[in-house]
Amino acid sequence: MDGIKDQVLTGKSIRLLRNNQYTFEVDAELTKPKVKDWIERFFRVKVKGMNSYRLPNKKKKKKSLESFDSRKRMIITLQENYSIPFFLDD
């Protein structure tokens, strides 16, 4: 799926791994049901719950035009006895 960009490894996301929660950066247009379906099919896991949040916009300046980069992250909670490998291969 092109909408899921990367797994996120920050201090918070590493702490969440103890609770079987994984953080992904996704396209801002993706919805929870689409991401849940893709995660369950691709990794062959069962999703217990999901939370999403938007990161503050970053200004991008290119010549005289200003644009905003909208980013969204999802925290996926898996059922017990399921896990996701750390890094996705490109």
Domain of residue 33 covers: 4-58+70-78
For residue 46, the domain's CATH number is 3.30.70.330
Confirm whether 26 is domain-assigned: yes
Position 10 pLDDT exceeds 60? yes
Confirm whether 51 is domain-assigned: yes
The contacts found for 54-61 with CB under 8 angstroms, 24 or more apart, are: 54/28
Residue 61 CA to residue 48 CA, distance in Å, equals: 40
Confirm whether 85 is domain-assigned: no
Confirm whether 32 is domain-assigned: yes
- Residues 13-71: tens digit of each pLDDT: 999 999 999 999 998 888 999 999 999 999 999 999 999 999 887 766 666 565 566 78
Q: What angle do CA 16, 21, 25 make, to 5 degrees?
A: 95
Confirm whether 18 is domain-assigned: yes
Confirm whether 20 is domain-assigned: yes
Are 84 and 22 contacting, i.e. CB atoms less than 8 angstroms apart? Answer: yes
The number of domains in the chain is: 1
**From the CB of residue 23, how many other CB atoms can be counted at a distance below 10 Å?**
20
pLDDT confidence bin for 90, thresholds 50/70/90: very low
